[in-house]
Structure 1
Amino acid sequence: MSRGAEAVAAARVWPVAVVGAGPAGLSAAVTAADHGIDVLLVDAGGAPGGQYWRQPGDVVPGGRDPDGRETRPHAEHGGRRLTTLWDALQRHRDSGRLTLLSRTQVWQAVAEDGVFALGLTPSPGSPPGPARVRAERLVLCPGGADRQLPLPGWDLPGVMAAGGVQSLLKGSGTLAGRRVVVAGTGPFLLPVATGLARAGAEVRAVCEAGRPVGWARDLAAVAGVPSKLVEGAGLAAAMVRHRIPYRTRTVVRRAVGTEELEAVELVRLGRDGRPGERVERVEADLLAVGWGFTPALELGLQLGAATRVDVDTSLVLEVDERQRTDVPGVWVAGEACGVGGSVLSDLEGRVAGAAAAEDAGAPPRAGTPARAIGRHRRFARSMHRNHPVPEHWADWLTDDTLLCRCEEVEVGRLREARDELGASDARAVKQVTRIGMGWCQGRVCGFAAACLTAGLEGREVAERDLRALGSRPLAVPVTLAELASLPTGPGQPPQA
């Protein structure tokens, strides 16, 4: 983005600002612009598409390849929709209706003087841009990150989040390992495994903790979204073609190695959900683990939006049928209001973008995809029910298992905090142990720590537990110099 455009972005008050350019945010921004409203789209990535439609580093809107040809987006799934959105984005940029701030992260959102102020910081390795923009309305589409559960040895080099492994492959063509085990739960494990196999890795096993046969009890939810059947059939065929073993009710109990990952220990879960006694060792130099996704809620929580606990035990932002939160002028779409996949995120983005545009004065238009959203949400609920986090996952933890890797807090320390110091909720545990106070600010360990704390008290994890480890005054890391440059004095909003 040019310096002149950056100055314009910072100088004016935008009718609508959209945060995040994944399927939800890209759809919301294009829809609002289609309604004739000026839109600012802020995204941390180099090219719109988010993690799901992640593009190689040399593919950007309006960019050219070494032969002078315009670079075009590509995606394994949903590529046609991405192309449509990409072309609409470029059309609105050319007309001046939409401004894109790429490689820019939003670290703070506050309400001031009747508008919303967003604190901005460049993505790592990117040049500085505007430090602050203002908008009358916000559409938050921040996406989410891999949910992780601790296990003995998960701090070894070679143990990675499944989404991180996929991002390396999509973004730069980098294979994170050659002998791979993919483990956790949920359909996302399959595209990770097949993508690695196509790139030349030997995928030695996909270990699914759940029992996918449970889908047979909820055929109505599956039949309502036939595209998922087609996608699933394609992934199953790829698994067969690459001869990837698929093991159900199987988990990785331990990652084995001294300086780096050498092998994993697999155990099968019994009918009671507890790990069995028989251990199988599989040699591997990469373990890709994913237990679903944790929504990114920082900006919504900073603004005081209401939350709820979703079917998959994620804390999500509460929205109505038009994607509105209980904070006037704030809409949310995508994973932040419930993990449901790219198509659902895209549909919610359309609704949120149209609602924000109409609030800005655009005339209403027909075509709200309410029925399609309902079908995809039913499918998402069924997916979460059939691929839950194992009830007894804490059984494979030892006292010396690292829970918070940033602060090097072991599981035994959390248990001591409860037994000896009376820390009975996640907030107290955080204060006593420093869990969630390191570099990641609880993004990796927060869910596990909240669940472990509740489990020690013999209760289900509660909204207050998840909020205690999910609320952050800084949504992303920011430098002290940027904080020092913030406006201060009477009438200024409180700073972090």
Structure 2
Amino acid sequence: MTRRHVVVVGAGPAGLAAAEAALGAGARVTLIDSADRPGGQYHRMLPEAYDAARPEVLQHGWPAFDRRRRRVLAHPRCAWWPETSVWALERPDPGHPGPPRVHVLRGPADGGDRHRTTLDPDALVLAVGAHDRVLPFPGWELPGVFTAGAAQALAKGERVVVGDRVVVAGTGPFLLPVAASLLEAGSQVLEVLEANTPRTVARGWSRRPWELAAQAGKGSELAEYTALLLRHRVPYRLGSTVIEARGDGRVEEVVTARLRADWSVLPGSERTVAVDAVCVTHGFSPQLELPVAAGCALRTTPGGEFVAVDDDQATSSPGVYAAGEITGIAGAPAARAEGALAGWIAAGGHPGTATLRALRRGRDQGRAFAERLARAHPIGAAWPEWLRPETVVCRCEEADYASICRAAADRASTATRVAKLETRAGLGPCQARVCGPTVAELNARLSDEPAGRPVEGLPAPAPHRRPIAQPIRLGELAAAPEPPLADPAPHPHAP
């Protein structure tokens, strides 16, 4: 019997669950991740040479994750490809339904001997996750200003502290695990600042409170983080944020302020705090390059654009499934439920089993939680008031707020391409992954006041619409790829 070959991209909670379910349904699985060990951001592991003696102390939910990791990586039908990047997806010709061909680069991202190859799966599961969204503010380009996700990755994956005196600021529950990771790695967290006001947060979380009973696990996790902050005497301030970073060559102090519900600054509430690092996050942006390259339709929500999926996690592209944060920011339990559902269906498993009913129920509860999260921790409309003309908006190209406003006002720059070349916003190495949502939002705000019509001159880059999803060297692109692999052999590994 020929077994279906399922390729899973991403080995975080969703991807690992998808791989396990696909194996359970009898498929052959190739599990791909750019990291050298599975787990994603949620279960980011130390390098093998520095494995923790008691990882359960550092990782929330470690025992269950460790069992799943070992089952998947040791399975004879699983090929584990670490340090592998999917740089492009090639759609099949019209009239030949099926998932796209997967173009990969195997080897460390900074290595010089990466090898190109391709995979032709029977089904493709995309579980590539999301990254921090950070709103610009004066001084955010200074060394020592980190995204919260980067700071947590260094603390969890390398045991490296970003600073001795750190402020964590932004919005959302992610602030708490970031602060916890920093404390456990040895940093002194001076304060955690949630930008939304107590009323906004309470109104979002208290709506239909009986639905929170399904998230009891998150309640215990919240209690753990709260207890840790209390033990270290870290204040958690609602309705406050960092509006400026200052320093000579690197961040030395931040200016914090109290905010109204729309995130406008309360005059006279500014404080100056001496720091050597600041970690900021204002939600998450899903990594949509691969889903868009595969032809997946997107849906627009108050929290942003996400991949549209049906009740089986299937996308609009034949043979392509999506799970985890690219379908909605709902947390690790929902990502695992989505991944297991996607993996089982992608492998040809029966769609009516009792287990799938429980997975769909958990998935739907996660989606309700995501909606609650968006209501409790929205981005206030008045945040652009923090900006000054010289505030950098695109850090790669050092495009400032004044240049973006000039492009919007210049009627000769109404063509998007002309405006992008004029401001350079979104044309740097990150290809608008960081500044893209911000520039697009500023574009919508800078409108003709009488008509309320958005000005077309401001570049509104769509960072996920590109044929090459990951950096590839010209030499690698020019080299002949290895033949397509229809039946990849398992990669040697040690669980």
The question of a shared fold, defined as TM-score above 0.5 by the shorter chain, is answered with yes
Quote how far apart the aligned CAs of 1:80 are.
2.6
In the comparison of the two structures, how many residue pairs are matched? 463
Which of 49, 59, 63 is 1:80 aligned to? 63
**Aligned twin of 2:22:** 32
Retained in 1: the 8 A contact 2:22–2:343? yes
Name the CA distance, whole Å, in 2 between partners of 1:423 and 1:339: 36
Quote how far apart the aligned CAs of 1:431 are.
4.9
Moved more, 368-377 or 451-460: 451-460
Retained in 2: the 8 A contact 1:14–1:40? no
SS in 2 for 1:321: coil
Name the CA distance, whole Å, in 2 between partners of 1:248 and 1:78: 28
Name the CA distance, whole Å, in 1 between partners of 2:244 and 2:453: 26
Quote how far apart the aligned CAs of 1:177 are.
0.3
Q: Please, which runs of 5 or more residues in structure 1 have no aligned partner? A: 1-11, 488-496
Which of 106, 109, 112 is 1:124 aligned to? 109
Name the CA distance, whole Å, in 2 between partners of 1:252 and 1:148: 12
Matched residue type, 2:355? G
Quote how far apart the aligned CAs of 1:460 are.
9.3
Which of 287, 293, 302 is 1:302 aligned to? 293
Which of 452, 457, 476 is 2:470 aligned to? 476
Q: CA RMSD in A?
A: 2.8
Matched residue type, 2:433? R
For residues 112-159 of structure 1, the C-alpha deviation after alignment (integer angstroms, 9 at most, x for no partner) is 364521121234235524422221211001111111111110111100
1:342-353 equivalent positions in 2, closer than 5 A:
342-353=332-343
**Aligned twin of 1:46:** 36
Q: 1:425 to 1:264 in 2, by over 3 A?
A: farther
Quote how far apart the aligned CAs of 1:250 are.
0.6
**Aligned twin of 1:5:** none
1:233 counterpart = 2:220: no
Quote how far apart the aligned CAs of 1:73 are.
8.4
Name the CA distance, whole Å, in 1 between partners of 2:480 and 2:136: 38
Q: Please, which runs of 5 or more residues in structure 2 have no aligned partner? A: 482-495
1:367 counterpart = 2:355: yes
Quote how far apart the aligned CAs of 1:271 are.
4.3
Retained in 1: the 8 A contact 2:324–2:334? yes
Quote how far apart the aligned CAs of 1:468 are.
2.5
**Aligned twin of 1:393:** 383
SS in 2 for 1:469: coil
For residues 382-414 of structure 1, the C-alpha deviation after alignment (integer angstroms, 9 at most, x for no partner) is 011101112211010011111111111111111
For residues 238-270 of structure 1, the C-alpha deviation after alignment (integer angstroms, 9 at most, x for no partner) is 111110011111111100112110100011112
Retained in 2: the 8 A contact 1:74–1:83? no
Retained in 2: the 8 A contact 1:14–1:134? no
For residues 12-33 of structure 1, the C-alpha deviation after alignment (integer angstroms, 9 at most, x for no partner) is 9972111010001111011101
For residues 54-106 of structure 1, the C-alpha deviation after alignment (integer angstroms, 9 at most, x for no partner) is 0011179xxxx79xx9x9888521213212211211331xx2x1101110010
Retained in 2: the 8 A contact 1:47–1:59? no
For residues 179-222 of structure 1, the C-alpha deviation after alignment (integer angstroms, 9 at most, x for no partner) is 00000000000111122122221111111001332323342332
Q: 1:384 to 1:424 in 2, by over 3 A?
A: farther
1:397-476 equivalent positions in 2, closer than 5 A:
397-421=387-411, 429-457=419-447, 468-476=462-470
Retained in 2: the 8 A contact 1:221–1:382? no
Q: 1:219 to 1:429 in 2, by over 3 A?
A: farther
**Aligned twin of 1:171:** 157
Name the CA distance, whole Å, in 1 between partners of 2:454 and 2:224: 37
SS in 1 for 2:100: strand
Matched residue type, 1:477? P
SS in 2 for 1:48: coil
Which of 154, 158, 174 is 2:144 aligned to? 158
Q: 1:106 to 1:194 in 2, by over 3 A?
A: same
Matched residue type, 2:85? Q
Higher relative contact order (CA 8 A, sep 6+): 2
Identity across the alignment (%):
38
Retained in 1: the 8 A contact 2:440–2:461? no
Name the CA distance, whole Å, in 2 between partners of 1:80 and 1:308: 35
What's the TM-score once normalised by structure 1's chain length? 0.87
Quote how far apart the aligned CAs of 1:420 are.
1.1
Quote how far apart the aligned CAs of 1:322 are.
0.7
Retained in 1: the 8 A contact 2:18–2:339? yes
Q: 1:166 to 1:390 in 2, by over 3 A?
A: same
**Aligned twin of 1:379:** 369
SS in 1 for 2:167: strand
Name the CA distance, whole Å, in 1 between partners of 2:315 and 2:455: 23
What's the TM-score once normalised by structure 2's chain length? 0.87
Q: 1:99 to 1:243 in 2, by over 3 A?
A: same
Quote how far apart the aligned CAs of 1:377 are.
1.3
Q: 1:74 to 1:327 in 2, by over 3 A?
A: farther
Retained in 2: the 8 A contact 1:204–1:244? yes
For residues 408-442 of structure 1, the C-alpha deviation after alignment (integer angstroms, 9 at most, x for no partner) is 11111111111113657977743542211110011
**Aligned twin of 1:90:** 73
Name the CA distance, whole Å, in 2 between partners of 1:425 and 1:77: 49
Quote how far apart the aligned CAs of 1:477 are.
0.7
